[in-house]
Amino acid sequence: MDSSGSIVAFNGALSIQLNDSMSNTFVTATNDYDFAKITDSVSESHVNQSSVSCSVSSGDGASSYCVQTNNNMQSVGVEHRGCVSSIVYHTPNGTTYWKPNMPEEFVPVKDMEFETWDDAVNMYNTYADKSGFSMRLSTIKRVKGSVTHRYMLCTRAGKPKFQDFDSTNTNSASTSRRSSSKVVCCNARLRLKPVPNTMRFKIYDFVDILTHELIGPNVMEFTKKRRKIGYSERNFIHKLSLNKIGPNIAHNLQCSLKGGSHNVNGTKTDFQNATRDLRLFISDRDAQMIVDIMTSRSVNLPNFSFEYKVVGSELRYIFWADDVSKCNYDAFGEVLGFDATYSTNKYGMIFVPFTGVDHHKKCVTFGAGLIYDETIESYKWLLDKFLKTHKKQPKLVLTDQDVAVKQVVCAVFDQYSQVELIPDKYLPARWMRNVLPDRVHDISNRYSAEDDEESVIRRNMFELLTECADRLRHKPDCLNSLLVQLKGIKDKVFKEFPSEPPCNSKRSIISELVGQPDTVDVTIKPPTGIRNKGSGTKRQVGVVEKLLENCNKNPRLCHKCNKYVIDHDSRNCEKVKAAKEAAAAETAAVLADAT
C-alpha cells in the first residue's frame, strides 16, 4: 500500500483506509476477484458521493473485505439551464460534479416506501425528468427466486470502453464501431429492497451526485427517454410508409403537427431506426406474410382471387385480382395490355401488370403478377391463372418484349494520407464541440416552434389522450370507459359554449395560420416582368386574339358587382377594377400629353 492509505484488520476482516480527506464509504466484497474490481471502481468513484454501500452475498468459505474512503467536495455555485438548476461541486483533484437543486417534495428519501415497484419507478422517473437527466432500470438480485434488491441508475452510468485501432490501416483486424453511447461512470442511483412480509419496496440507498452536466429543456428532446418511440409514433411511421412516405418526411410531419421537434418523441435517426426495426422483424418472413395475408383476403373478401406457386421452398409465382379488377375486365377487357416490368423489390422479381383503358381513356388494372423469370413456363402459368380468374379471353393483346438491364458502377476511394495525430493549428474553433453558445439552441430560435400558451395547452391535451390510449391498448372495456368520460367532457363544453366561436371560421383560421389579418393594406407587391436566362421568349398576344379568346368563355356572375363578366369574380373584383381604372388613367394621361 502506498502513502495514500493504510491496511488494517479487525474482526478477521481486511480493511483499507484511504487517507485523502474523504468521508466514510464502505464497500464489501466476497473474494479476491470482487475485491480487485471494487478497489478499481472505488478509486474512480469514491469522490462522486458522500456515501457508498454495496454488498455481495458471500458463498461458503468466501473472504469478506471492507474498503473505507473519505470525501471532501466543495460547492462552487449554482448552474441554471432554463428551469433546471444544479449545485456545482469541485474536488481537490479538480473533478467537477453536479447535484440537482430540487424541491424537497420531489427528492427521494432513505427508507421511503412504495406500494408497488411501478410506483417507485414513476417517482424516480419524475425526479430524473425534473432534475435534468434520464434514468434506466438496472440489476435485479434474487435469492432462491425471491427479489432481494432492485436498482435504478442514470443512463450514463457505466465505464466507457476504449479500443485501440489503426485508422490508417484498412486491413487492420481491430476497427472502431460508431456508437452513440455516452457513459461517463455516473453514480446517480436509487436502490430498493422489499419490505419483509409485505409487497412493498423501500429505499435503502440513494445517490444524487452526477458526473455530468444536467440537461436543460432546450435539449431534453435528445435524452433516451424522449427519444423512445412508442406505439403511436411507430404506427404513424408505418401508416406513412404504406403510402410511400419515408421516415424523414414522417418526422417532418410530426414536427409540423406538434409545433416543433422538441415536442416529438424521437429524432430523424430514431424514426429511421424504427423503419429498420420493422424491416428486421419482417426479414425473410415476408414471402410467408404475403401468402398468409392474401390467402386470408381471398377467403374473407368476395371476388378476390389469389394464386401462387412454390418451387422447393421458394415463392416463385404470384397472381392476384380483386373485385374492382374483375369489374374493370368485364367492362373494358376487349383490349389487354400485358407487359413485363423489372421491379425495384429487393428480390428482383418481375412485375407483370394486366392493364386496359376505360371509357374515360384512363388506365385501369385487370390484375397483376410477380414471376421468377421470363420463360415460357412462367408466362404460361401466369396467363393460365389470369384466364381462370376472368373466364374469358381478350380480343386484342398488346405486349412489349423489351428487357431493361441496369448496371451498377462502384467507386473506389484512395486512402484521405498516413496521419496519426491532427496538429493543433488545423483544429479551428468551428470544429470544437462548444463553438456555439447555448442560446442558439433555445427553442425560441427554432422555426415553426409553437410555444404560446394556447398551443402548449392544446398539445398537452393531445399528448395526455394519446398516452392514455396507448396504456389501454388491447383493453376495449377500459378504452370504452375512457371514451364515455371524453364524451361527458365534450357535452359539458358544448353546453357551456353552445355556438361556434368566430375564430373558427375558415378565413379566421387561415388568417391565424399565415399570421396576417383578414384585411390589410398591401403596400409591397411581388415583382413582375422578370426575364431571366433560360426562361425563353413569350409571344405577344394581340388585342383581336384576346377578344376572340374571351368570346369563347361563358360569362359568370360576380357577386361583388352583380354583373356577368369573363375577366374576374368576387374574389378579385376590386383588384381588377383598380387595374382597369389605373389603365384608363394612364391612357388618358398619354392622350393628354399627345394633345
C-beta of residue 384 within 8 angstroms of C-beta of residue 305: no
CA 20 – CA 4 distance, rounded (Å): 7
List, in order, residues 6 or more apart from 559 with CB less than 8 Å away: 570
CA angle 373, 374, 376 (to 5 degrees): 115
Q: DSSP letter string over 378-393?
A: HHHHHHHHHHHHH-S-
CA 202 – CA 114 distance, rounded (Å): 6
Please check the confidence at residue 153 and state whether its pLDDT lies above 50.
yes
| Most confident option among 34-38, 161-165, 577-581 | 577-581
Q: How confident is the model at residue 528 (pLDDT cuts 50, 70, 90)?
A: low
Give the lowest-confidence range in 65-74, 88-97, 495-504. Answer: 65-74
Give the lowest-confidence range in 229-233, 297-301, 357-361, 573-577. Answer: 357-361
Bridge partners, 338 (sequence order): 354, 399
Higher pLDDT, 23 or 33: 33
- Strand extents, DSSP E, 273-377: 305-311, 314-321, 335-339, 341-342, 350-357, 363-371
Q: In what order do the strands lie in the sheet with 96-100?
A: 74-81, 84-90, 96-100
CA 356 – CA 364 distance, rounded (Å): 5
Higher pLDDT, 411 or 191: 191
End-to-end CA distance of the chain: 115
Share of the chain above pLDDT 70, in %: 71
C-beta of residue 168 within 8 angstroms of C-beta of residue 420: yes
Question: What mean pLDDT is predicted for residues 271-282?
Answer: 85
Kindly report, residue by residue over 88-140, the tens digit of the pLDDT: 999 888 889 999 998 888 899 999 999 988 889 889 988 998 999 989 888 88
Kindly report, residue by residue over 74-101, the tens digit of the pLDDT: 888 898 888 889 999 998 888 899 999 9
Please check the confidence at residue 424 and state whether its pLDDT lies above 90.
no
For residue 107, the tally of other CB atoms under 10 A from its CB is 14
| pLDDT computed for residue 344 by the predictor | 61
Kindly report, residue by residue over 244-254, the tens digit of the pLDDT: 899 999 999 99
CA 360 – CA 446 distance, rounded (Å): 49
| pLDDT computed for residue 417 by the predictor | 47
Which one-letter DSSP state was computed for residue 560? Answer: T
- Taken as a whole, the chain contains a residue count of 595
Higher pLDDT, 522 or 330: 330
Q: How confident is the model at residue 409 (pLDDT cuts 50, 70, 90)?
A: very low
List, in order, residues 6 or more apart from 237 with CB less than 8 Å away: 229, 247, 250, 271, 274, 275, 278
Please check the confidence at residue 1 and state whether its pLDDT lies above 60.
no
| pLDDT computed for residue 439 by the predictor | 66
C-beta of residue 187 within 8 angstroms of C-beta of residue 207: yes
| pLDDT computed for residue 128 by the predictor | 92
Please check the confidence at residue 513 and state whether its pLDDT lies above 80.
no
| pLDDT computed for residue 554 by the predictor | 82
C-beta of residue 120 within 8 angstroms of C-beta of residue 248: no
Query: What is the pTM (predicted TM-score) of this model?
Result: 0.61
Q: What are phi and psi of 57, to 5 degrees?
A: -60, 130
For residue 37, the tally of other CB atoms under 10 A from its CB is 11
Cell of 389: 380468374
Closest-CA residue to 382 (of 340, 344, 348) = 340
Kindly report, residue by residue over 483-492, the tens digit of the pLDDT: 999 999 998 9
CA 442 – CA 219 distance, rounded (Å): 8
Please check the confidence at residue 151 and state whether its pLDDT lies above 50.
yes
Kindly report, residue by residue over 322-334, the tens digit of the pLDDT: 888 888 878 777 7
Cell of 232: 403511436
**CA atoms within 13 A of residue 257's CA, in its CB half-sphere:** 12
Give the lowest-confidence range in 84-98, 149-163, 301-315, 431-445. Answer: 431-445
C-beta of residue 190 within 8 angstroms of C-beta of residue 172: no
Closest-CA residue to 99 (of 212, 183, 185) = 212
CA 328 – CA 356 distance, rounded (Å): 8
Mean pLDDT of all residues in the chain? 75
Angle between helices 376-390 and 323-332 (to 10 degrees): 90
C-beta of residue 34 within 8 angstroms of C-beta of residue 175: no
Kindly report, residue by residue over 351-388, the tens digit of the pLDDT: 888 888 877 778 888 889 888 877 778 878 888 888 88
Question: What mean pLDDT is predicted for residues 142-153?
Answer: 86
C-beta of residue 294 within 8 angstroms of C-beta of residue 286: no
Kindly report, residue by residue over 174-203, the tens digit of the pLDDT: 445 555 567 888 989 999 999 988 888 999
